[in-house]
Each structure stands twice: as C-alpha cells, then as structure tokens.
Amino acid sequence: MAFNVRVSLPVYRPPIFPERCVVCGVAHPDDWARIRTRSIGWWVVLFPSLSEEFAIRAPACRDCAEGLSRGLRMRQIVTTCIVLAGLTASIVLAGHLGARAWHAFLVGVVSLAFGVRMAWQWVFPAPLDLTAYETTVDYRFRDRPYAEEFAAMNGVSIKPAPALPK
C-alpha cells in the first residue's frame, strides 16, 4: 500500500521546492506543475466557489506536469460525480424518506465523497497533492526523499504517518 509524506506549511508562506521535477525527480526541469486547491470544509463539496482558492507551482517536466494535473482532475471529476449522483438520489428520495432519514442520507453522501477522495489519495497517491486548511497547507509527496528535502528547505519537519491498526 502506498503512502504519501506530509509536510505542513503556514498558508501565507510561499513554498520553496528542490530544483528537481516533483514527479520524476530529474534535475532542472523545463516547466512547472500548477496545482490549485480550495480551503477545506463540507461546503467545498457542494459550493466550490465559496471557499478560497490556494495555488502553487512546483518544478516539473512538461509531460510530468500534464500527467500530474490530469490525475488530480480525474479525482475531482469522480468526487463530483459521486456528489451529483447522491444529490440526485436525495431529491428523488425526498418525498419517500422522513426528514431525519433524509438529512442522514445527505450527510452520508458528503462523507462518501470525502471518503473516496481520501482512499484515492491513499491508494493512488499523486506525486504532489495539496490540502489547504484555514491557516496551514499540507503538501503531500509520494517520494519521501523529495519530501524530506522540501521540508528542510522550508525549515520544517515532515509529519509522522498515521499509525496503522494492528
């Protein structure tokens, strides 16, 4: 099972990246990967335009940058499809379920979308992924040495991986 390595920086601090492609590791790549995310909260799933956008660029070869943004876009499409399917189902079910069951169903849809997104990060970790919170941003790297170098350049340490159930 693959894991990514998490480095957390304050949201206002521009990240400093090693002079290597964040995907394949080649030195002095010729392009940049542009990665955008929105600060996290339940409303992001339903109303993405309500949250603040956070964008960075990381050194990458042109092909690597395209592959990276394609992968992240695909994950976004799958998550959005789950939410839309869930919302459609909730509209259809609205007349048949009681108010409590209907609310529980809506919460379930949002939880499922977040769950799929997290599972996706876990099983198919992107070379670089961002999660923005109110005051911090988590940079998730697939490559541990790259993450360690990134952390050192930014004066922080990598976050320990969550413990696995035994």
Nearest residue (CB) to Zn ion, 65 versus 137: 65
CB within 8 A of 26, min separation 6: which ones?
A: 20, 61
- Candidates 61-69, 90-98, 108-116, 130-138: pick the segment binding Zn ion (CB under 5 A): 61-69
Task: Rule CB under 5 A: say whether 24 interacts with Zn ion.
Answer: yes
**Long-range pairs, 104-112, Cβ under 8 A, ≥24:** 109/82, 109/83, 110/42, 110/45, 110/46, 110/83, 110/86, 112/82, 112/86
53-60 and 128-132 strand pairing:
unpaired
- Candidates 64-72, 75-83, 122-130, 146-154: pick the segment binding Zn ion (CB under 5 A): 64-72
* Nearest distance from C-beta of residue 69 to Zn ion, angstroms: 13
- Candidates 45-53, 63-71, 75-83, 84-92: pick the segment binding Zn ion (CB under 5 A): 63-71
Size of interface with Zn ion, in residues (CB under 5 A): 5
